[in-house]
Copies of this chain bind each other. A is one copy, B any other.
Amino acid sequence: MIEKRKPLNLPLDRRSGVPLHLQIQQRLLAQIRSGEFMLGKPLPSIQQIAASMGVSLMTVRQAMRALNEIGVLYSRQGVGTFISGIKMERDFRQVLSFTEETIARGSTPTSKVISFGAQQPTPNVQEALNLGEKDLVYSLRRVRYRDDVPLGIECSSLPVQLFSGLMEDFDPADSLYIELARKYGVQFMVTDEVIEVGGATAEEAHLLDIAPHSPVFHFTRISYIENGVPVEHVKSVYSGERYKIVNRLMRTKH
């Protein structure tokens, strides 16, 4: 056994393959969650942390920059670094699929497939996915349920060209993103999203078990892989009664 003054302050593991700055980041997060830092008092200075952990200043800074960016800490030159007093730690820039999002909130996601197959894209989809006149898309239309309550209707379109191999053994219940990473090594994806409001059509109202013309969200999402090629177009309708969007925004420097 090795003696320690503070039992929690274990040394960093330099052999684990986990970068030191990530280990420091995780440790700081744990200390923040445990209430170890007071709300108006500065954290130990970067110099102190670096010395106590036996790393260089840059490494501590790298850890702190990430926590700064998600709003957990804020630093003031000449004063110190403080906890922000704001609860959540989620990174709202990350796309989450319906499945991931629902599980993250502690509910059970299920789906009912309404239609699935190759077909001619609508003009909007054709343009969004940058398709030629004769290119087809796989179209998957599903009702999404949270704890067996219908939340929304999603219609995904994917170019057949790109995904003919993918679709052979693709289970619609699986995550498309994980499949893309596994089969194609895609590491990076950007989704542009447009959110509008409208009234439910008769069909939508029936599928979602809401009144016709009820207010609903319309989402249009186009996802691009790293070289800018669009790979997915999703049009969704979500019930306004049962769905809302929660967001966190930052403001820095005047």
Q: Which residues of A line the B interface, CB within 8 A?
A: 39-40, 58, 69, 71, 74, 76, 82, 84-86, 88, 92-95, 177-178, 181-182, 187-199, 215-217, 223-224, 226-229, 240, 244-254
Contacts and interface: CB of A to CB of B under 8 A. Distances in A.
A246 B194 contact: yes
Given A69-B69, A192-B247, 13 more contacts: A40-B227, A74-B188, A86-B228, A95-B249, A95-B251, A187-B252, A188-B251, A191-B250, A193-B249, A194-B244, A197-B216, A215-B216, A223-B251
16 contacts: A40-B227, A71-B190, A74-B188, A74-B226, A84-B188, A84-B228, A85-B228, A182-B254, A187-B253, A190-B249, A190-B251, A192-B246, A193-B245, A195-B195, A195-B246, A197-B217
B228 A195 contact: no
A82 B71 CA distance: 28
A198 B227 contact: no
Contacts of A198: 215, 240
Contacts of A82: 226-227
B93 A250 contact: yes
A128 to B, nearest CB: 13
A192 B248 contact: yes
Contacts of A253: 187
A95 B248 CA distance: 9
Contacts of A226: 74, 82, 84-85
A25 to B, nearest CB: 15
Nearest to A198: B215
Contacts of A217: 197
A140 to B, nearest CB: 19
Given A93-B93, A199-B215, A240-B196, A248 B190 contact: yes
B193 A246 contact: yes
A195 to B, nearest CB: 4
Which has the most chain B C-beta neighbours within 10 Å: A86, A188, A198, A240? A188
Contacts of A227: 39-40, 82, 84-85
